[in-house]
Amino acid sequence: MTAAFKISLPNGLNYDQPTGLFIDNEYVPANGEKFTVYNPTTDEEIITLQGASEEDVDKAVAAARRAFDGEWSELEAVERGALLYKLAELIDRDRKLLASIDSFDNGKSFSDAYGGDLLESYNVFRYYAGAADKITGKTIETSHKKLAYVLQEPLGVCGQIIPWNYPFMMLAWKVAPALACGNTIVLKPAEQTPLSALYFGKLIVEAGFPPGVVNIIPGLGYISGKALAGHMDVDKIAFTGSTATGRSIMKSAASNLKNITLECGGKSPSIVFEDADLDQAVKWCHSGIMDNMGQVCTSTSRIYVQDTIYDEFLAKFTEKTKEAATKIGDPFHEDTYQGPQVSKAQFDKVLSYIDEGKKSGARVLHGGAKHGDKGYFIQPTVFADTTEDMKIVKEEIFGPVVAISKFSTEAEVIAKANDTSYGLAAAVFTQKVTKAHKVARKIQAGMVFINSSGDSHFGIPFGGYKSSGIGRELGQYALDAYTQSKAVHVNLGTEL
Ligand code: NAI
Ligand code: MG
């Protein structure tokens, strides 16, 4: 067993943070590279952990394989569901602690973590707890003498590599459906935010899961993540993160033709037509890019406004941004809307895009610099009059930075909206019902929000077109993503 580390959270909660790797229901020492987890609010070190080495990844995969071949596969689906229900209740019991941990090492506001991420995680576990015994195949009569039926079977050992922007919720989106379908798991949390995932191991034990069903291996992407993605005894890789890393994971996964689900980057457009309810459009366009410090894969980071209402929109959007900017600060303060970016690397990256935007001639309506002198805070930054060739319009920034420009016709804005290698989400603002649905169809994206932004729901498929990913998470779609079909042909006759 590894020693637990005492952590005192800013809101007064104290807890024992497990360290090491969680394999076979025990915390064991890791042998890989060390990495440090920071508090982004203060730039202070929280803890230095040792990550999983390639040999550690082998150990975790072997544990997951033993569990898959053994005890776990012998459980009835209804028993898997019962374990998932138990786990959901433990998450609910520890909701305040888990939300505090995510707020601490990620920098997101506690109220978002508690009211958003952790509530969603609880619901996701309950949804898939209920789904465990409702996974069904089909029966197909192929002729009068033959019958075929299709079994939906688990894939086996699933490697899951998750990012830092919704640490616990990304775990929930991946772990819950994989377990409901009868798979076993090796989960690699992001090196910036591994604490709540490591703590989750305790809940796995308490819920009563057999050893090896869920294994958790913090570590660096290019070591532990890469080893997991390329491992010959892993059957699936599910990943959320950047498109560049998604591409490299896909290459690693080619080693044994793993099943893959990739949920990658985006540069999603909001389209505001002149017949939109302007105040509503401003509100949703603002939250669509500024929520979670702009660190959302579906962030609507390009806004196209019809020329007739462009100036009015800019004035209202700037006003809204100014008002929200008064609520930058300590994530644990109840009024805080915007905390710090997750890491020094992300902080530097976002600031360099802001510089790039200024150099390229975009007009700064708000922000344009870091906020304060401590931590990784950035002023919400609004660029107007941007053009399609600018880097800030083309590339994912993943920060509180938006590029606004105008259009005159529907055809023009659809062409602009689709002029990107990404295709994750899009928002359309109009009061005309036919226009809304027509435009929704023409947008090349996995998700479209009408008079809204940032929507996701555990029952609805989540994922992207083009370079935004492969496959879908959540809903019934995730059950397909974590099973494979086996066709069984039955001969009812006697003739060849
Ligand atoms: P990343 O995509 O490199 O990291 C995400 C996860 O992948 C982490 O767990 C990391 O350890 C792992 N990883 C990294 N390299 C790997 C490899 N070669 N093989 C296997 N696993 C690997 O993202 P990063 O570096 O944290 O952020 C860079 C950019 O990615 C952000 O600025 C943002 O644009 C984008 N991003 C998108 C997210 C989304 O929700 N789609 C989430 C996080 C980042
Ligand atoms: Mg990276």
- What per-residue confidence (pLDDT) applies to 496? 80
Active site residue 263: yes
Q: Does the pLDDT of residue 109 top 90, yes or no? A: yes
Cα 95 to averaged position of ligand 1 atoms, centre (Å): 26
Q: For ligand 1, atom 11, which residue shows the shortest CA distance?
A: 221
Contacts of 254 (CB under 8 A, 6+ apart): none
Q: Does the pLDDT of residue 334 top 90, yes or no? A: yes
pLDDT band for position 310 (cuts 50, 70, 90): very high
Cα 249 to averaged position of ligand 1 atoms, centre (Å): 10
Query: Which ligand sits closest to the CA of 191?
Result: 1
- Contact predicate 289/400, CB 8 Å: yes
- Contact predicate 307/406, CB 8 Å: yes
Atom from ligand 1 closest to the CA of residue 161: 9
pLDDT band for position 184 (cuts 50, 70, 90): very high
DSSP H or E run through 403: strand 401-407
Q: Residue 321 corresponds to which tokens in the numbers above?
A: 């941004």
Cα 163 to averaged position of ligand 1 atoms, centre (Å): 6
Q: Does the pLDDT of residue 97 top 90, yes or no? A: yes
Q: Mean per-residue pLDDT for 361-380?
A: 98
d(CA 357, CA 231) in angstroms, rounded, equals 41
Beta 157-161 vs 146-154: how paired, if at all?
A: unpaired
Q: For ligand 1, atom 16, which residue shows the shortest CA distance?
A: 221
- Contact predicate 32/219, CB 8 Å: yes
Give the CA-trace dihedral at 338, 342, 348, 351, to 10 degrees: -20
Q: Residue 126 corresponds to which tokens in the numbers above?
A: 């309950």
Cα 408 to averaged position of ligand 1 atoms, centre (Å): 37
Atom from ligand 1 closest to the CA of residue 190: 9
Q: For ligand 1, atom 25, which residue shows the shortest CA distance?
A: 242
Q: Mean per-residue pLDDT for 244-261?
A: 98
Which of 245, 264, 341, 398 should be mutated for ligand 1, with most atoms under 8 A from CB?
A: 245
Cα 319 to averaged position of ligand 1 atoms, centre (Å): 33
Q: Give the position of tokens 């109009």.
A: 430
- What per-residue confidence (pLDDT) applies to 239? 98
| CA dist 139 → 132, 306, 480 (Å) | 20, 52, 17
Q: What is the pLDDT of residues 413-466, one digit of tens each?
A: 999 999 999 999 999 999 999 999 999 999 999 999 999 999 999 999 999 999
Q: For ligand 1, atom 43, which residue shows the shortest CA distance?
A: 241
Q: For ligand 1, atom 4, which residue shows the shortest CA distance?
A: 241
Q: Does the pLDDT of residue 1 top 80, yes or no? A: no
DSSP H or E run through 417: helix 410-418
- Contact predicate 109/339, CB 8 Å: yes
- Which residue from 393, 383, 351 is spatially nearest to 369, judged by alpha carbons? 351
- What per-residue confidence (pLDDT) applies to 4? 85
Contacts of 429 (CB under 8 A, 6+ apart): 270, 271, 272, 273, 276, 277, 280, 281, 284, 285, 451
Q: For ligand 1, atom 18, which residue shows the shortest CA distance?
A: 222
Q: Residue 357 corresponds to which tokens in the numbers above?
A: 């935007």
Cα 241 to averaged position of ligand 1 atoms, centre (Å): 4
Give the CA-trace dihedral at 397, 402, 408, 409, to 10 degrees: 50
Q: Of 3.40.50.2300, 3.40.50.300, 3.40.309.10, 3.20.20.70, which CATH number belongs to 269-457? A: 3.40.309.10
- Provide the 10 A C-beta neighbour count for residue 416: 17
Q: Mean per-residue pLDDT for 36-42?
A: 98
Helices (H), 222-303: 226-230, 243-253, 278-290
Give the residue range(s) of CATH 3.40.309.10 domains in the chain: 269-457
Q: Mean per-residue pLDDT for 334-350?
A: 98
Give the residue range(s) of CATH 3.40.605.10 domains in the chain: 5-265
Cα 196 to averaged position of ligand 1 atoms, centre (Å): 18
DSSP H or E run through 477: helix 477-481
- What per-residue confidence (pLDDT) applies to 464? 98
d(CA 400, CA 101) in angstroms, rounded, equals 23
Q: For ligand 1, atom 26, which residue shows the shortest CA distance?
A: 163
Q: How are the residues of the chain apportioned to helix, strand and coil, as percentages rounded to the nearest 5? A: 40, 25, 35
Query: Which ligand sits closest to the CA of 237?
Result: 1
Which residue among 120, 263, 396, 473 is the active-site one?
Answer: 263
Q: Does the pLDDT of residue 7 top 80, yes or no? A: yes
Residues with CB under 6 A from ligand 1: 161-163, 165, 188, 190-191, 221-222, 225-226, 229, 240-242, 245, 248-249, 263-265, 297, 346, 349, 396, 398
Instruction: Give the fold, CATH level 3, of 5-265.
Output: Aldehyde Dehydrogenase; Chain A, domain 1 (3.40.605)
Q: Does the pLDDT of residue 142 top 90, yes or no? A: no
Q: Residue 212 corresponds to which tokens in the numbers above?
A: 């090896």
